Chains A and B, each alone.
Chain A
Amino acid sequence: MIDRDQVLWEIRAFIFSHFVDSTRPPSVRAIAQHFRLSEAEAYGLMVELHNRHAIYLDLEARHIRMANPFSGVPTAFHTIANGRSYTANCAWDSFGIAAALHCDAQIDARCADTGEPLALGVRDGQAIAGQELAHFLVPFRHWYDDLPRT
């Protein structure tokens, strides 16, 4: 018998640690093996984390799509930090990765309107930017209606 709540949060920590170390999400199998669970048990706990908004699963692919600020799928947002290239979910999470890792970062950014590259980043705890903007399309009250769109 497992202590479900304790293992739940240990799995969350394992997922984030895996992203930090490898830039990628762990598979259901990797989580199951690490915690000596069946894959069904591991996935059940991952779904519980999804329902608590701790991670976001692709429920059809049974894959971690988001563990904000990290993305488990390819996107147009990349943050280079600590010698690794992380995939972010959006403009905000591009900076979120630098904030989560507490380090300098180079943000691989483009203007969504023109496609021109933007020189953004973080150095010595300060944002590097000119007049660029981040545009939030969806009001906060609707963020969790459709998180990938947000």
Chain B
Amino acid sequence: MLFFRSEDAVDRWCARNGMARGESLTITQLWELSKRWYHNRISPDYHGRTLSEIVTIFEEIGLTSPFWQPPKA
């Protein structure tokens, strides 16, 4: 994941590198995702999370497009 100044910058970078565009998050969304994903990461009690828990995190910050769907079992 990379930082960009703007959506135009994302488009230019993808075109220059021959990459299909993915999805952009605002920094506020990224921070909300970071808090939910990493808040307990250095705890000795953290042993990972389930796909269902991951999908819930995505949904909480509005990431519901096919891009954020889990792999099929």
Contacts and interface: CB of A to CB of B under 8 A. Distances in A.
Interface of A: 9-10, 12-13, 16-17, 20, 52-54, 68-69, 90-102, 109-114, 116, 118, 120, 122, 126-127, 129, 131-142, 150
Nearest to B19: A137
Given A9-B44, A140-B58, A140-B68, A90 B2 contact: yes
Contacts of A127: 27-28, 30-31
B30 A135 contact: no
Contact of A111 (B4, B16, B34): B4
A15 B41 CA distance: 12
- Per DSSP, are chain A's interface residues mostly helix, strand or loop, or mixed? mixed
A132 B29 CA distance: 11
Interface string B2-36: 11111101101100100101111111101101110
Interface of B: 1-7, 9-10, 12-13, 16, 19, 21-28, 30-31, 33-35, 37-39, 41-42, 44, 47-48, 54, 58, 66-72
B9 to A, nearest CB: 4
A111 B19 contact: no
A93 B68 CA distance: 18
Given A135-B24, A139-B67, A141-B69, A113 B10 contact: yes
Contacts of B7: 133
A120 B13 contact: no
Given A52-B48, A92-B33, A134 B27 contact: yes
Contact of B38 (A20, A69, A134): A69
Contacts of B13: 112-113, 135
B10 A92 contact: no
B15 to A, nearest CB: 10
